[in-house]
Amino acid sequence: MANKKILLVEDESIEAMDIKRTLESFGYEVPYIASSGEEAVEKALEIMPDLILMDIVLKGDIDGVEAAALIKNLNIPLIYLTAHSEENTIERAKFTEPYGYIIKPYDVNGLKYAIELAIYKNQMENEFKESETYYRTIFEHTGTATVILEEDTTISLANAKFEKLSGYARDELEGKKSWTDFVVKDDLKKMEEYHRLRRNDPASAPIFYDFRFIDKQGNIKNIHLDVDIIPGTKKSVSSLLDITKRKQAEMALRESEERYKSIFDKSIDAIYIHDFQGNFIDANPIALSMLGYRKDEIEKMSFASLISPEQIPHAFEIINQIKNGGYQKEVSEYRLQKKDGSKIYVETKSSLLSFPGGKDLIQGIARDITDRKLAEEALKESEKSYRTIFENSGIALLTFKNDGTIIMFNSEWERLSGYSREEVEGKMKWMEIAHPDHRKKMMEYHQQRIKDPDSAPPEYETVFIKKSGEQRVAYIAVTALSGTKKWLASATDITDLKNIQKKLEKNVLRFRALAEYNVDGIITTDATGRILYFNKSLLEMFGYSEDELKNRELTILMPQRYRENFMKGIRKYQSTGEHSLAGRTLETIGLNKEGHEFPFEMSLTKWEIEEKIYFTSIIRDITERKKSEKALSESEQKYSHLFSSVPVGITITNLNGKVIDVNKAMHDITGYTPEELKNTNIKSSFVSPEDPELLLKELQETGKVRDYEVKLKRKGGIIYHALLNSELIEIGGEEVILTTIRDITERKEAEKSLINSEKRYRKLYSSMNEGLAVHDIIYNDSNIPVDYKIIDVNKAYEDILGIKRKEILGKKASKIYGAGKAPYVEVYSEVAETGNPAHFETYYEPMDKHFNISVFSPSKGTFATVFEDITSRKKAEEKIKKSLEEKEVLLREIHHRVKNNMQILSSLLNLQIHYADLDETIGVLKDSQGRVKSMAMIHEKLYQSSNFSNINFKEYLERLISSIFYSYEITGSIGSEIDIDDVNLSIDTAIPLGLIINELVTNSVKYAFPQCEGTITIKLKSLPEQMELIVSDNGIGFPKNIDFQKPETLGLQLVKSLTKQLDGDITLDKSNGTEFRIIFNELKYKERI
């Protein structure tokens, strides 16, 4: 340890000299001894030692712990060497992060090793910090978000990039978050499997893959992960690259491609792509279908091969136009030849397709206009025949412009209107012929038709006024002339038909009124079963609309299983003219629109008109009737079962008391069988003859009697208490009395016992010394307990709390106890809800009192508190506790002072040894030093112990032996074997026993091993009544010239004397080395006055 400097901080000069000499014996340089905290700080900055050995209690204004805190940033390892071992001092020292904490008196070897370890640890830490700084710099500047993961997936280290990626600060991540917290649920299973493989079979786990990442704000990001195990550890390092924008771009590109492909493949127009020479590259399904070619065929063809030769120059002019301008300015028309040789007409428009760094192409869209071209040609031909048809159609036809002006007017219109063609064409508007009341409607229809042809009715009725003034009803139809702004109107004179219709409507109205407002469904079919008519009730019954049912087969209203028989009946009627259901009423099953079956009753009638046969059925839904029938049946069964099985006695009697019926429970109550009871009069069961008369009178006045208590007689004359409930009811037209009888004998006896018990407990309740209160829990709208109200309190409650009972009953606790909230509501509500009792002591500040409270729950939602005021007891306890603490501090300080003084005495002896010349003198000094140390260690142990009357003797003895070996500089092969029970001994036993062991072990060290080789054994065992100490060695043996029973040396005299002090016996065995055996009694601690 050459060149290693230690700054010693110790204010006891003698101890400082002894410690300095010890440190120098280890090979360290001690350039300075500081005696105050201020001096320690100054010299640490000046010397910059390799280690500081610091006492805690020092001269000056700051102690050793405060000085260490000021030196801490110098990165100098520090070891406390102090006599202070109290817990609060050690806790203070911890904050300065010392490299060791050694208690005086110290073990020299322990001090040596502690210093070596501290210096080595400091060197390693400095090297590690340099290495950590280097790798931290690399870690922070990888360019990607990087984390170190523990085996359990906890993030132990994260760089700034990961903070930015996750949205979390480093102190929120490291040691707190798992990487699984950032993984989208659907990706988690895959990543957990990779994590497992990476630790069990690294070669099988991928080192990079993509997953979805959730940041602090809940944003989902696409991440490319690069992960691997850190060699020699179970940790892994993960690098995360945010590829969200790339993924979005890929997605957008894929969507665009899919969208384009969808448009390309599903377009209703032909789309094709070709190069500047007209060679086809691609064509969509419509284009292929239009031309009749397959895709592989069209890709080998050119545009020129499909068009007529005279159109080829125009086609290439268009290609050049697109090549130079990027698009085709006007639509082109071509005649193409299909694969089958037929011709079609198309119109096309093309544009340039540009590809970065690639070859430009042309995309064209073609629409088949063959039908239009043929129609145009046909139109010219049809125009010639149009006039002929127009004039000779037999229907009144006219054409008119958007403004209503008549263009053409045929002869049928002349007849219908009375106007000539010359008077009308180009001169009149066609609405002018209409009756003034109808013109507005016709004009509205016309305006609608111009805006949206589908929004106006194409056909309607109106009234015209002929030139002569006669009114005629006409049926008008108006249609647009395609491709023009002209309209065609046709008119049919229905005046005579309307007159007939009016007469017919009167008859129909009568029938319809009857049918439509009938609550039953009415339906009419023809002889084949086709539905011709039905009323609203039928539609509602089956759930269909009028359009859904009209002209449908009648089987639509039947379940599938009935349809075949129905059709057989129709076929039979058609062949024989007989129908089995005509003129009958029957019940059957219908099927509504929702597929649900229901029962109905049907009456079928056959009728005939104009030699045609029709069937009309009146249908009544009997679902509710069937339910009622079923319910009635079930009710009868239920009440029959209830009557016979109910555990309450039931009797039915006439007004005179004769029993008509009874249930089985009456046998259990009375002892009579139902047959025996039916032959009796119930009045004979009453103990008091007045009761049946009173019951009957009240029944006749009110119709019922409730909870009437009486005494009745059982079989054998046994009297029992019963509770009667009676009511007048009607059965089969006869008024009878229904009575239920409940045996309440046990209840009456229990009530009697309860009254007696209540008196006893009320007396106890009132005479208790402890306060008692009963409460109900109060809940808020969320069913959370928030308060409780007072139900009852005893007199002790009033006396203890000074609150009057009448002032608080029914009030909330939050309003009574002066705290603004209900005290201890959480504890009380748990007891009230669970039924588990509780007990606690508490200080209630608003009342400045201590209480001992027991809580129990007599019923759910209710709790009772039994409490006593323990304020006086608590104050007395606090006073005693404070007094004990003061005595403990005083006693601890005494032991500390004694130990320090003995340490100083030991240091003086140690220094004197270095100035003594004679071996005998040195031996005497060392023996004395050992005795002082053995006693000092006892006081150190007592100072450190929470129990000032006992010490752990095993720990003490191990330190004592080590100190002896060091004092005599034991080297070579002398060892020790310690076999001691883990016992605590009182100070009165520990001090003499420690001195005995010190003397015997010192003698063995000094005289037993001339060759410096052997073993010293110390055993301490607990016997049933006493204790046994054995100190032995396997050395040269006890000298023959020394009489152990009459020793002349001070050491053996002390051993004999101290053994006697312990009420012990000592024996010596010289058969194998030397063995001292002492059987002694542990001395009980005696109170000192």
The CA distance from 383 to 375, in Å, is 12
Task: Count Cβ atoms within 10 A of the Cβ of residue 794 and give its class: 0-12 exposed, 13-18 middle, 19 or more buried.
Answer: buried
CA angle 694, 696, 702 (to 5 degrees): 100
- In this structure, the strands spanning 486-493 and 396-401 are antiparallel
Q: CB neighbours of 369 closer than 8 A, spacing ≥ 6?
A: 333, 345, 346, 347
Helix (H, G, I), strand (E, B) or coil at 245: helix
Find, among 711, 708, 687, the residue nearest to 696 by Cα: 708
> Along the chain (1089 residues), what's the average pLDDT of each consecutive run of 10 residues?
83 80 89 91 92 90 92 92 82 91 83 90 83 70 82 88 89 88 88 82 81 91 86 84 80 68 74 88 87 89 87 88 84 88 88 75 86 73 62 76 86 84 86 86 85 82 87 84 81 75 57 62 86 86 89 88 83 74 80 90 78 82 80 67 71 88 83 82 88 88 88 88 88 84 82 68 68 89 89 84 84 78 87 90 85 88 88 79 53 50 56 55 60 59 54 76 72 81 80 81 82 88 89 88 76 80 87 90 59
Q: What letter represents residue 220's amino acid?
A: I
- Do the domain assignments include residue 880? no
Q: Which helix (H) or strand (E) holds 762?
A: helix 745-767
- pLDDT, one tens digit per residue, over 1046-1074 is 777 777 777 887 888 888 898 888 888 89
Contact 173, 166 (CB under 8 A): yes
Q: 275: phi > 0 → left, psi -120 to 50 → alpha, else beta; which?
A: beta
Contact 1053, 999 (CB under 8 A): no
- pLDDT, one tens digit per residue, over 759-768 is 666 666 666 7
The CA distance from 212 to 903, in Å, is 69
Find, among 905, 894, 996, 883, the residue nearest to 942 by Cα: 894
The CA distance from 317 to 1006, in Å, is 126
- Do the domain assignments include residue 259? no
| 156 in the same domain as 50 | no
Find, among 604, 603, 626, the residue nearest to 613 by Cα: 604
- Do the domain assignments include residue 275? yes
Q: CB neighbours of 531 closer than 8 A, spacing ≥ 6?
A: 523, 524, 525, 549, 550, 551, 552, 553, 554, 556
CATH code for the domain of 956: 3.30.565.10
| Three-state SS annotation for 441-509 | HHHHHHHHHHHCHHHCCCEEEEEEECCCCCEEEEEEEEEEECCCCEEEEEEEECHHHHHHHHHHHHHHH
How confident is the model at residue 657, as a pLDDT? Answer: 87
Q: CB neighbours of 507 closer than 8 A, spacing ≥ 6?
A: none
| 382 in the same domain as 358 | no
From 814, 844, 869, the end of a domain falls on 869
Length of the chain as a residue count? 1089
Residue 35 lies in domain? 5-132
| 105 in the same domain as 11 | yes
Q: Produce one character per residue of 104-116: b if its CB has 16 or more CB atoms within 10 Å, e if not.
A: bbbbbebbbebbe
- pLDDT, one tens digit per residue, over 476-534 is 888 887 778 888 888 888 877 677 666 655 555 555 655 566 678 888 888 888 888 88
From 219, 249, 279, the end of a domain falls on 249
Task: Count Cβ atoms within 10 A of the Cβ of residue 798 and give its class: 0-12 exposed, 13-18 middle, 19 or more buried.
Answer: middle
| 127 in the same domain as 151 | no
Q: Which helix (H) or strand (E) holds 424?
A: helix 421-424
| Three-state SS annotation for 292-343 | CCCHHHHCCCEHHHCECHHHHHHHHHHHHHHHHHCECCCCEEEEEECCCCCE
Please count the other Cβ atoms lying within 10 Å of the Cβ belonging to residue 868: 17
- pLDDT, one tens digit per residue, over 200-222 is 887 778 888 888 999 999 899 99
CATH code for the domain of 276: 3.30.450.20
Helix (H, G, I), strand (E, B) or coil at 805: helix
Question: Own/partner pairs for 643-650, CB < 8 Å, 24+ apart?
Answer: 648/740, 648/741, 648/742, 649/740, 649/741, 649/742, 649/743, 650/738, 650/739, 650/740, 650/741
Q: Which two tokens stand for residue 44?
A: 């640490």
Q: What letter represents residue 469's amino acid?
A: G
| 409 in the same domain as 327 | no
Residue identified by tokens 């046709």 is 490
Q: Which helix (H) or strand (E) holds 1069?
A: strand 1065-1069
Find, among 1076, 1034, 1075, the residue nearest to 1055 by Cα: 1076
- In this structure, the strands spanning 585-591 and 597-609 are antiparallel
CATH code for the domain of 63: 3.40.50.2300
DSSP codes of every residue in 363-414: EEEEEE-HHHHHHHHHHHHHHHHHHHHHHSSSSEEEEEETT-BEEEE-HHHH
Integer CA distances (angstroms), 364 to 273, 282, 287, in order: 6, 11, 10
DSSP codes of every residue in 888-928: HHHHHHHHHHHHHHHHHHHHHHHHHHHH--SHHHHHHHHHH
Considering the entire predicted model, what is its pTM?
Answer: 0.32
- Do the domain assignments include residue 380? yes
| 720 in the same domain as 587 | no
Contact 960, 994 (CB under 8 A): yes
| Sheet with 145-149, edge to edge strand ranges | 155-158, 145-149, 236-242, 220-229, 208-214
The CA distance from 653 to 669, in Å, is 17
| 391 in the same domain as 283 | no
Q: List 100's β-bridge partners, or say none.
A: 79
Phi, psi for residue 691 in degrees, rounded to 5: -60, -50
Domain count, the chain: 8
Q: CB neighbours of 18 closer than 8 A, spacing ≥ 6?
A: 907, 910, 911
Q: Which two tokens stand for residue 888?
A: 């403990």
- Do the domain assignments include residue 167? yes
CA neighbours within 13 Å on the CB side: how many for 456? 21
- Do the domain assignments include residue 258? no
| 483 in the same domain as 336 | no
| 61 in the same domain as 147 | no
Q: List 368's β-bridge partners, or say none.
A: 346
| 211 in the same domain as 79 | no
The CA distance from 803 to 782, in Å, is 32
- Do the domain assignments include residue 669? yes
Please count the other Cβ atoms lying within 10 Å of the Cβ belonging to residue 89: 18
The CA distance from 521 to 525, in Å, is 13
Contact 79, 98 (CB under 8 A): yes
Q: Which two tokens stand for residue 377?
A: 């040609």
DSSP codes of every residue in 978-1034: EEE---EEEHHHHHHHHHHHHHHHHHIIIII-TTSEEEEEEEEEE-SSSEEEEEEE-
The CA distance from 806 to 726, in Å, is 43
The CA distance from 44 to 66, in Å, is 14
| 895 in the same domain as 784 | no
Radius of gyration, alpha carbons of the chain: 59
From 132, 151, 167, the end of a domain falls on 132
| 171 in the same domain as 87 | no
**Where do runs of H (alpha helix) occur along 86-153?**
87-94, 108-140
Q: CB neighbours of 1018 closer than 8 A, spacing ≥ 6?
A: 957, 961, 976, 977, 978, 979, 980, 997, 1001, 1029, 1030, 1031
- Do the domain assignments include residue 881? no
How confident is the model at residue 501, as a pLDDT? Answer: 64
Integer CA distances (angstroms), 715 to 200, 668, 882, in order: 86, 11, 79
How confident is the model at residue 1061, as a pLDDT? Answer: 80
